[in-house]
A = this chain, B = another copy of it.
Amino acid sequence: MADKVAGRRGRRLQGQGAEAQGNEPGLTRERIAATAVGMLDANGLNGLTMRGLAEALGSGVMSLYWHVQNKEDVFDLALDSVLEYRGPTALQDWRGDIVHVLEDWRATMLRHPWSASLLPRRALGPNILVRLERLSKCLSAGGVSDTDVNAAIWSLWNYVMGATVTRAGFGPSDEDRAASQQRLAELGALYPSIEHSRLLLDDDWDGTFRRGLDFLLDGIAPKR
């Protein structure tokens, strides 16, 4: 009952006899994925509906289902298409490389905030494995022992994941910040340490991400 691989084809070439508008060149998984990403970017996770997607593609709703198993499949498609990693630099400074990989990762996901809430519950797509592989290489190059490397990778993964999901959840809107501020003002007395450190008011997300990452890398770096 698991997975039956539905038929899917790539096929081009159709006579544009009647309509000169080449705007709707036939459905493909790629086109579906791209359009889905657009809609998700624009309207968030709930902004994607099969009907809407079909309309944006200029097709009937049920036509999608020939290319796609179900809505979940569309999510998978969109997610993976967003997570491509173009690793530019060659290996040199292991620590700097890791920072780069993770910051790029975070930035990519924050550019499409829905991806953060989507990623956890999906299996690891190829584009994620590429990133993990790269991490693994960097760590080994940095002298992290074989016994530590797995825990290190997962801890880095967890860190990026948590940071991104949290950041995406709080959204760029000031509404949440206002809410936090409000809540803090009300209950501040109950949480003196939090209030003292202004934990919830700080909004230097990038800096905090970077500094926490340094903590983690300090701990991972082989002790001397």
The chain A residues found within 8 Å of chain B, CB to CB, are 2, 116-117, 120-124, 126, 129-130, 132-133, 136-137, 140, 146, 148-155, 157-163, 165-166, 168-169, 175-176, 179-180, 183, 187, 190-194, 197-200, 202, 208, 211-220
Contacts and interface: CB of A to CB of B under 8 A. Distances in A.
Given A151-B211, A166-B120, A146 B197 contact: yes
Contacts of A176: 123
B212 A215 contact: no
Q: Is the interface of A mostly helix, strand, loop or mixed?
A: helix
A220 B210 CA distance: 13
A70 to B, nearest CB: 13
Contacts of A168: 120
29 contacts: A116-B120, A121-B169, A124-B180, A124-B183, A129-B190, A136-B193, A136-B197, A136-B199, A137-B193, A148-B211, A150-B198, A150-B202, A150-B208, A152-B215, A154-B208, A154-B212, A155-B159, A155-B212, A158-B158, A158-B163, A158-B166, A161-B165, A161-B166, A162-B165, A165-B165, A214-B219, A215-B219, A217-B219, A218-B218
Nearest to A132: B194
A111 B91 CA distance: 41
Given A150-B199, A160-B162, A216-B219, A187 B155 contact: no
Contacts of A208: 150-151, 154
Contacts of A120: 116-117, 165-166, 168-169
